[in-house]
Amino acid sequence: MLHSVASGEVCPQTPETSPQEKLSWEVADIFRLYGEEYRRNHPIPLQHLKVMHLIEICRTAALGGHIEYCDTCGYEVQAYNSCRNRHCPKCQTLVKERWLQERKAELIPVGYFHLVFTVPHDLNPIILCNKQVMLNILFASVNETLQTFAHDPQWRLGGQLGFISVLHTWSQTLMDHFHLHCVIPSGVLQQDKTWKSGRETFLFKTSSLSIEFRNCYLKLLQKAYENGQLIFPGKTAPLGTPEGISQLVHRVKNKSWIVYAKRPFAGPEQVLEYLGRYTHRVAISNHRIISVQDGKVIFTYKDRSDHTRTKLMTLEADEFMRRFLLHILPGGFMKIRYFGFLANICKKKNLKCIHEQLGVPFQDSELQKETVQEMMLRLTGEDITRCPRCGNGNLVRTPIPLPHSSLHLLSRERFDSS
């Protein structure tokens, strides 16, 4: 039996089997079976090659690990390290749990809203070639839109909002679909640091938000173009001319920009439940992959046009990998960001001030870090240091060295995904 602990991910794995015998499939299997041919036939950025390689070798001997043996009955188990890449479907669970524990102390005892801002698909070709710039524009335009509305007297707030924003780049079928989820407490911090609560039923009118969002985004897009920050390679070249960008801006300006308001959260606890589902997602989870055989991948997806009914989609492995790689983010790019009074530079001070005004003690979020063993005990009720066979002995570790060829790649990628 194999499992992995070094990255904080602990999960039994089954031995290698033939495609006909295999009961569960992973993105890593697709890369191992068809990745080499894909790399030969397609020009691939270095960042994408790194991600493919790390997913392929995640929880294998290539990343080293350790052997655990019971000091009582002699039971032995081999454990391999995880790659810890943020795009790997197997390496998010405990990263997410640590993040949630830190966010729990930052919740304000007020209502919360959930807004989703979506960019028109006409802009996708430019975004895919300019992810760093164009996705930064998405974050900036959403922040500018929300803060403008929060200061507008007609909404009766007159202060600064604070919110968490989470970037998603995919649809259920793995196509490029750029949108920002925002979790927003109902209230603002006014200029004199007085807390003012907002409505419980809605925050702002979404039809008005969409117009402001469109104007802010296109203003920043035009500025980036004029400053020479955008590139237009290959088929996007016609969009890079003054006439091309002007026609594109005119076309998307006449479209409806979608700002969707979900049902308000029932309370802070529901906010945490939501964040746990959405923040550390990757383009596709392994459990959605049904079959990988004869060069084809079958996976499940929810059809939003059919009342979110779950259906099956079959893609050539080549097309599956192409779609998966659409969602690799630039190294060091932050997909979760904090704005307004929740910005990292002033969050702790502002939260303490708000809690005092609401008469609720503020618990500092700088909690003692849980070990992997403590976290697994809390999440599963199982003590992973205890022998699973006899139940009495303790598991003692003996390291398996990390192959020298993997050291530089793993070290750099861990920095990029932090």
Structure tokens at 307: 């009342």
In a domain, 259, yes or no: yes
Q: Say yes or no: 82 and 174 in one domain.
A: no
Same domain, residue pair 247 and 112 = yes
Provide the residue range defining the domain that includes 412: 2-88+368-416
The full length of the chain comes to 418
CA pair distance 142, 118, nearest whole angstrom: 10
According to the model, what pLDDT value does residue 7 have?
35
| 3-class SS of residue 231 | coil
What gap in Å lies between CA 202 and CA 180, rounded to an integer? Answer: 18
Residues 256 and 115 in one domain: yes
Residue among 197, 200, 198, 199 at smallest CA distance from 354: 197
Alpha helices (H) along 236-341? 242-253, 268-278, 317-325
| Contact status, residue 195 vs residue 214, Cβ threshold 8 Å | no
Cα–Cα distance measured from residue 169 to residue 135, given in angstroms and rounded to the nearest whole number: 10
At 14 the pLDDT is: 36
Specify whether the CB–CB gap between 360 and 366 falls below 8 A: no
Domain check: are 71 and 23 in the same one? yes
Asked if 193 and 199 count as a contact pair (C-beta separation under 8 A), the reply is: no
Question: Taking phi first (over 0 means left), then psi (-120 to 50 degrees means alpha), and beta for anything else, what does residue 294 get?
Answer: left
Residue 135 within any structural domain of the chain = yes
**Looking at the domain assignment, is residue 153 inside a domain?**
yes
Helix (H, G, I), strand (E, B) or coil at 119: coil
Is the same domain home to 151 and 228? yes
Answer yes or no: do 264 and 145 share one domain: yes
Instruction: Tell me: do 130 and 228 sit in the same domain.
Output: yes
Tell me the C-alpha distance between 203 and 348, whole Å: 24
* Domain match, 396 and 271 both: no
List Cβ<8 Å contacts ≥24 apart for 271-278: 271/107, 271/112, 271/183, 272/100, 272/103, 272/104, 272/107, 274/114, 274/183, 275/100, 275/103, 275/164, 275/166, 275/183, 276/96, 276/100, 278/166, 278/168, 278/181
The number of CA neighbours under 13 Å toward the Cβ of 273 is: 7
In a domain, 306, yes or no: no
Longest Cα separation, the chain: 76
- Regarding whether 111 and 84 lie in a shared domain, the answer is no
- For the packed helices 93-104 and 268-278, what is the interaxial angle rounded to 10 degrees? 160
Instruction: Give start and end residues of each alpha helix (H) in 279-403.
Output: 317-325, 347-358, 372-380
Domain count, the chain: 2
Distances (CA, A) of 9 to 90, 112, 196, 258, 339: 8, 31, 42, 37, 30
Same domain, 124 and 192: yes
Please indicate, yes or no, whether residues 353 and 372 belong to a single structural domain of this protein.
Answer: no
Does residue 292 lie within any of the structural domains?
A: no
How many angstroms separate the CA atoms of 220 and 211, rounded?
14
The backbone torsions φ and ψ at residue 141, rounded to the nearest 5 degrees and listed phi first, read -70, -35
* Residue 93 belongs to a domain: no
> Position of tokens 């790019």?
333
111 and 62 co-located in one domain: no
In a domain, 291, yes or no: no
Nearest to 416 by CA among 44, 47, 9, 4: 47
Pull the structure tokens for residue 46. 């270095």
In-domain check, residue 110: yes
* Spatial distance between the Cα atoms of 5 and 371, rounded to a whole number of angstroms: 11
Residue pair 106/347 in contact (Cβ under 8 Å)? The answer is yes
Q: What is the pLDDT along the chain (418 residues), one digit of tens a residue?
A: 333 333 333 333 333 444 445 668 999 999 999 999 999 999 999 999 999 999 999 988 888 888 888 888 888 888 888 898 999 998 877 778 888 878 887 889 899 999 999 999 999 999 999 999 999 999 999 999 999 999 998 888 999 999 999 999 999 999 999 999 999 999 999 999 999 998 888 889 999 999 999 999 999 999 999 999 999 999 999 999 999 999 999 999 999 899 999 888 877 778 877 877 778 889 999 999 999 999 999 999 998 777 768 999 999 999 999 999 999 999 999 999 999 999 999 999 999 999 999 998 887 655 456 666 666 666 666 777 788 888 888 888 888 766 655 555 544 444 344 3
Residue written as token pair 């890593």: 28
